[in-house]
Every structure is written in structure tokens, then in C-alpha cells.
Amino acid sequence: MRNKLLAVVVFCVALAASAQAQTQKIIITTPGAALHFFPAHVAAAAGLFAAEGLDVEWVDVGAGSKQVASVIGGSAIMTVLGMQPAITAAEHGADLVAFAALFNKYPIQVVLHPLVMQRIGMTRGMPIDEKVKRLAGLRIGITGVTSSTDSVLRSLLLARGLDPDKELRIQPLGTPTAMLAALSKKAIDGAMLSAPQAQIAEAGGYGQTAIDPLTGEVPDLNGVPYTAMITTRDALKRQPDVIMKATNALTKAMVLEQKEPERVQQLLQSKIFPDIDAKLFASFEPTYRPAAAQTPVITPDDYARLLKWMNILDPKPITVSYEQMIDTQFAKRAAAEILGR
């Protein structure tokens, strides 16, 4: 009897050790939850990373520069990041590579206080050139200098021959939460926000979306990819199995988005954005879903459109080529096996 009990104990210990060996713990850094990381959030909420054998610890480091540092320094194996700051970092020698698309439009909106909208006579139906002209003299909040919020704001003016530093008072405030607080207190006239903060401002009565690239009204941003899963070339070589599993999870999330949109909405609201009212979330989530990547593959055309937009901000040619910045081996395999493409 004793030998049988010992055998059972040994078997259980071996089984637990085997399960632990099959599960790989990894760290993915973020700047906080946002709908422009759509497939990554869906994969996390639906347990798709876990199904691939990845035990993911999501670490909010608060800013793009810290995200870059996390993967370069090796504290995280990958990060959800805007492609523009990743390319800029690569231009300065950072060993970064994008291996899976996440979101294919810029969802950063110009949100103005309703009283400011009235004062400058701006309406949502105005042509984009007229809207941008009417921003002159306003105090607009951004997260930080060279951030995506800063870049989108500046590009709106530069594309129309205007100097952002002369036309606007651009105020770095650190976080979307800080911008919401400043906007509600009228300490700023507007802010560069995306979901869910833009919708929170509107629901609170202290914000109105004045310019929204998601609607297609900003031609210079149409077709420009925004976020991707970023890692290093070294990580691709050292842990290709982890990169493949993560890519599979993201690709399966893309399938789930298409097949079960209502379930995806419920998962995102309850597990990723639990503090957002369910009805409010349901009112804007469908407008973001079409811009979520439907394949993990980032194409040369995607990259070319991004570089064209980046050249509005800085006409200096970007030397980081598509082949240097984008690795498609994992995405193409996942697309073929999971999407049938």
C-alpha cells in the first residue's frame, strides 16, 4: 500500500513538473490598456496565449521609451508598441524588429472642450484643412514630446504647411488620465486621446471629438499602420518558439474577432477594461474593431505608407529598410496555418 502511495506521489510530481516545463513564463510590456493593441488584448482575455503554453505577465511601464528599453535590456521579450517610435529607435541603432501587426489605423483623436468647439466655430463636418486652421492658438495636451500623440498632432499641421510650435501651445502632460483631468478643469483646450479616454471625456461632457483619423477624414494617415508586436533580432534567434507561439495566439485572436465579435466585445470590456461602463464600451468598440489587424503579416506597402507619413514629420530619408525592421517568417507561417492565407 505504501509503495502504491509513493508511486502516486511520484507520478503527480512528475506530471506537475511536466506541465510547468511546457508552460513558458514571459513578460510583455505595455504603456497601459488601449484598443489600438486590439488583438493582443483579445488574445490575453480569451486565454489564447495560455493555450499556446505562454504564461504572460503584462507589465505597464507607462511610456514608449521605457517599452523600448525593456526589450533592448532583456527584461521583456516583447512589447506592444507604435511602429513609428520603434523605427525611430532603430534609426538610432536599437536592435528592434516588428513581427506581427496589431492595429492598422491611427486612432488618436483631437478632442476639444465643447466650449472651445463653440468658441472657434468648429463642427465635425468641416473639411480637415479648415479644422486644422481653427486649432491655431489652442493649448493641446499630449502624453510626451516625440510620442505618438505629439507626432499625430504635429503631422496634422505640417501636412498643411503650418508650424506646430508657432500655431499651438503643445503641453506634455504624461498620461491620458492627466490629460482628462486637465481637460475637465479647462486647464487645456484639447487633448490627443484615443479609446477609451476620448469616449470618457465625451460621456463626462467635457470633450468632443473634433478630428478623428479612424473616420478617414485625414488623408495623410489613411492606410498608415499604427501598432505592432515588437522584439529584438536577438530574441528571434534565441527564442523562436516563444515568438511563434505569441504570433499564433495573436492570429487566433484575429479569427475570433471576425467569428465572434459579440463575445470579443464582452471579453474586452470585462477583462481588459472593467472600469469602463459596458454600454459606453459597446458604443465605441465596434468603430475600432475594423482597424484591428486581420493578418499578422506587415507588408512592404504598409511600411512604405508609414515612412511616407513619417517624412511629413521629418523629411530626412529613413535608412531602416523594410527587411531590417520587419520579420515576416512567423507571421507568414501563422497566416498560412491558421488563416489559410
The domain limits of the chain are 2-105+224-339, 109-221
DSSP string, 137-201: T-EEEESSTTSHHHHHHHHHHHTTT--HHHH-EEEE-SSHHHHHHHHHTTSSSEEEE-TTHHHHH
Q: How far apart are CA 249 and CA 230, in angstroms?
A: 15
All three cell numbers of 212, joined, read 478623428
Query: Which CATH architecture does the domain made up of 109-221 adopt?
Result: 3-Layer(aba) Sandwich (3.40)
Is 111 within 8 Å of 207 (Cβ atoms)?
Answer: yes
Helix (H, G, I), strand (E, B) or coil at 292: strand
CATH superfamily of 2-105+224-339: Periplasmic binding protein-like II (3.40.190.10)
pLDDT band at 111 (very low <50, low <70, confident <90, very high): very high
Residue 62 has pLDDT above 60, yes or no: yes
Residue 272: the pLDDT is 96
Residue 123: the pLDDT is 93
Q: What is the pTM of this model?
A: 0.88
Residue 273: the pLDDT is 95
DSSP string, 61-72: --SHHHHHHHHH
Judge if 2-105+224-339 and 109-221 fold alike in CATH terms: yes
Please write the tens of the pLDDT for every residue from 231-284.
999 999 999 999 999 999 999 999 999 999 999 999 999 999 999 999 999 999
Range from 61-75, 112-126, 209-223, 297-311 carrying the lowest mean pLDDT = 61-75
Q: How far apart are CA 35 and CA 329, in angstroms?
A: 26
Distances 261 to 18, 99, 179 between C-alpha atoms, Å = 35, 25, 31
